[in-house]
Structure 1
Amino acid sequence: MTAAAVGLSHSPLIGRNDPPPDVRAAVDAAVGEARDFVRAFDPELVVLYAPDHYNGFFYKEMPPFCLATEATAVGDFGSAAGPLPVDTEAARALARGVLDRGVDLTVSARMTVDHGFAQPLEVLFGGIDRVPVVPVFVNGVATPLGPVGRVRALGTAVGEAAAALGRRVLFAGSGGLSHDPPVPVLDGAPPRVADALIEGRPPTPEQRARGEQRVLQAGRDYAAGSGAMIPINPAWDRLVLDTLESGRLADVDGWSVEWMGAEGGGSAHEVRTWIAAFASLAATGEYRMTSRFYRAIPEWIAGFAVAAAEPV
C-alpha cells in the first residue's frame, strides 16, 4: 500500500463572497499545489472524511461517525449533485477492519452528503464522479460531541485497515479550522426548527435558497466587522496545523470539546476530519508535510487551510 494525505478547508461562500484578489490568488495557488500533489500521487482510492451541515444527518439518529457504502450529494450552495462513485467493496472491507480494531462505526448503505464532501472532490479532481471514494462522515457540529481521541482512533483504524487493500490510498480531510458560521442549534430552537433538525425533512427549494442567502449575508456582515460570530483565531489554527505537521497526534487526546469551541468557534470541530485523515496516514508510518497554507478569510467565515503530506 502507498498512502498520502490532504487537508482542505471548504466554504459554501467560495465564489459567492470572495476576499480581495490577492488573497484569492494565494488560495488558488495553494489549492493548485495540492491538486498537483494529488495528480502526481494518482490515487486509486480516496477515503474522504467530512462533516455534514444538517443535510444528511439529523438528531433522530446522530452518530459520531459513519462510513458509506453508497452516497449521494444534495447539491447545496451550488455544489454538484448526484451519486458519488463509492467503492462499495473497499468500503465494506474498511468497515470490517475498523470494527475488528475495536472502534464503533456506523455504516450507511445510502448516505446523503453535502458541500463538505462535494467541494473537495470538485476542487481536487474536477468533479464528484472522477475517482473511487469511501465517504466517512465525522460529526463536527451536532452536540454532544465525543472525545477527540476517538476520532484519532477512528483514523488510525481506517489507516491500518486500508493497508490491507494494497492500493494507492489518499486520505482527505475536509473542514474549516476556526470558524463560527450561523449553524442552527437544537438547544432552545423554536419548535419548527427543532423538528427540522430532528426529523431531517428536506427543505423546499425556496427554503434552501433563503437559508443559503442568510449564510451569504452573514459572511458579508462578518467581513464588514458587524457580525456577532466568534472571531477567527489564527493562533489556534497554527496550533492545529503545527500539531498535524509534527506528527504528535496523540496531543489531540487532551483537547476538550469545550476548549476547542471556545478557541475556534462553533464549527471548529470540523478539524476532526483533518485529525482523522492524518491519523490514517500516520498508521502507515512516519510522514512529512510537503505543503502548508493558511489564511484567515472573514469573507468565507473561516480559518482556511490547505496541506498535503506523504510518507517519509
Structure 2
Amino acid sequence: MTAATVGLSHSPLIGKNDPAPDVLARVDEAVEYARAFVRAFDPELVVLYAPDHYNGFFYKEMPPFCLATEAHAVGDFGSGAGPLSVDTAAAKALAQGVLDRGIDLTVSARMTVDHGFAQPLEVLFGGIDAVPVVPVFVNGVATPLGPMSRIRALGTAIGEAAAELDRRVLFLGSGGLSHDPPVPVLDGAPPRVADALIEGHPPTPEQRAKGELRVVQAGRDYAAGSTTMIPINPEWDNLLLDHLEKGQLAEFDSWTVEWMGREGGGSAHEVRTWVAAFASLAATGPYEPTSRFYEAIPEWIAGFAVATAVPR
C-alpha cells in the first residue's frame, strides 16, 4: 500500500462570512497546494475522518466513532447533498480489520453526514461523489468523550487494516482546531432542544435556514469581539500541529477532555479527526510533513489549518 495524509479544517461559514482578502488569499494558496498534493498522489481510496454537528448522530445512540458502508450528505450550509461514493467492499474489509485488532468499532449501513464530511470532498476533489471513500465519524461534540488514546488506537488500527488492501490510500482528517461555536449541549437544555438532540428529528427547511443564519450571525459577532465564546488559541493549535508534524502522536494520550475544552473551546475535539488520520499514516511507517499552514480566522470561528504528509 502507498499512503498519504491531509489534514484540512472545515467551516460552515466559508463563503458566507469571509475574512479580509489577504487572509483569504493565504488560505486559498494553502488549499491549492493540498489539491495539487492530492492530484499528484491520485488516491484509489480516501479514508475520511470527520465529525458531525447533530445532523447524523444523536444522543439516542452516540458512538465515539463509527465507520460507514453507505452514506449520504444532508446538504447543510450549502454543501453537497446526496450519496457519497462509498467503497462498500473496502469499508467492510477495514471494519473487520479494525475489530480483529481489538477496537470496538461501530458500523453504519446508512450513515447521515453533514458539511464536516462534504466540505473536504468538495474542496479537494470537486464533489462528494468524486472519489471512492470510507467515511469514519469521530465524535467531537457530544459528551461524554473518551480518551485521546482510543482515537489514536482507532487510527492505528485502520492504517494497519488499510495496508492489507494494497491500494493508494489517502487518510483525510476534517476538523477545525480551537473553536467554540454555538453548538447546543444536552446538559441543561430545555425539553424541546433536549428532545431534538436525543431523537434527531430532521429539521424543516425553514428551521434549518433559521439555525444556519444564527451561526452566520455568531461568526459576525465573534469577529467583532461581541461574544462570550472562548477565543481561538493559536498557541494550542500550533502545539497540536507541532506534535503531528514531528510524529509525536503519543503526546496526545495525556490531553484530557477537560483541558482540551478549556484551551481550545467546546468544539476543539474535532482535532481528534486529525490525530486519527496521522495515526493511520504512522501505522504504515515513519512519515514526514510536506506542508503546514495555520491561520486564526474569527470570521469562521476557527483556528484554520491545512497540512500534508507522506511516508519517509
If the TM-score is normalised by the length of the shorter chain, which range does it land in?
Answer: over 0.9
Partner SS, residue 131 of structure 1 = coil
Correspondence for 1:296: 296
Correspondence for 1:98: 98
Q: For residues 251-290 of structure 1, what are the structure 2 equivalents within 5 Å? A: 251-290=251-290
1:92-137 superposed Cα distances (whole Å, 9 cap, x missing partner):
0000000000001000000000000000000000001110000000
1:16-38 superposed Cα distances (whole Å, 9 cap, x missing partner):
00000000000000000000000
1:232-271 superposed Cα distances (whole Å, 9 cap, x missing partner):
0000000000000010101111100000000000000000
State the shift of 1:227 in Å: 1.2
Correspondence for 1:219: 219
Correspondence for 1:81: 81
Correspondence for 2:119: 119
In 2, the alpha carbon distance for the partners of 1:236 and 1:2 equals: 31
RMSD, aligned α-carbons: 0.3
Correspondence for 1:61: 61
For 2:288, the aligned partner's letter is R
Correspondence for 2:24: 24
Correspondence for 2:200: 200
State the shift of 1:281 in Å: 0.1
State the shift of 1:62 in Å: 0.0
1:142-169 superposed Cα distances (whole Å, 9 cap, x missing partner):
0000000000000000000000000000
In 2, the alpha carbon distance for the partners of 1:105 and 1:60 equals: 17
In 2, the alpha carbon distance for the partners of 1:187 and 1:210 equals: 23
Correspondence for 1:186: 186
Correspondence for 1:130: 130
In 2, the alpha carbon distance for the partners of 1:6 and 1:120 equals: 10
State the shift of 1:77 in Å: 0.2
1:6-58 superposed Cα distances (whole Å, 9 cap, x missing partner):
00000000000000000000000000000000000000000000000000000
In 2, the alpha carbon distance for the partners of 1:310 and 1:32 equals: 17
State whether structure 2 residue 35 is matched by structure 1 residue 4: no
For 2:44, the aligned partner's letter is E
In 2, the alpha carbon distance for the partners of 1:36 and 1:65 equals: 30
In 2, the alpha carbon distance for the partners of 1:285 and 1:126 equals: 30
In 1, the alpha carbon distance for the partners of 2:227 and 2:304 equals: 18
Correspondence for 2:160: 160
For 2:72, the aligned partner's letter is T
In 2, the alpha carbon distance for the partners of 1:20 and 1:99 equals: 47
In 2, the alpha carbon distance for the partners of 1:181 and 1:289 equals: 29
For 1:212, the aligned partner's letter is E
Where does the alignment leave 5 or more consecutive residues of structure 1 unmatched?
none
TM-score, scaled to structure 1: 1.00
In 1, the alpha carbon distance for the partners of 2:72 and 2:155 equals: 23
State the shift of 1:214 in Å: 0.4
TM-score, scaled to structure 2: 1.00
State whether structure 2 residue 1 is matched by structure 1 residue 14: no
1:63-85 superposed Cα distances (whole Å, 9 cap, x missing partner):
00000000000000000000000
In 2, the alpha carbon distance for the partners of 1:54 and 1:233 equals: 25
- Give the length in aligned residue pairs: 312
For 1:228, the aligned partner's letter is T
In 2, the alpha carbon distance for the partners of 1:174 and 1:11 equals: 10
In 1, the alpha carbon distance for the partners of 2:104 and 2:151 equals: 11
For 1:305, the aligned partner's letter is A
Correspondence for 1:34: 34
For 1:232, the aligned partner's letter is I
Partner SS, residue 102 of structure 1 = coil
In 2, the alpha carbon distance for the partners of 1:138 and 1:287 equals: 23
Correspondence for 1:236: 236
Partner SS, residue 176 of structure 2 = coil
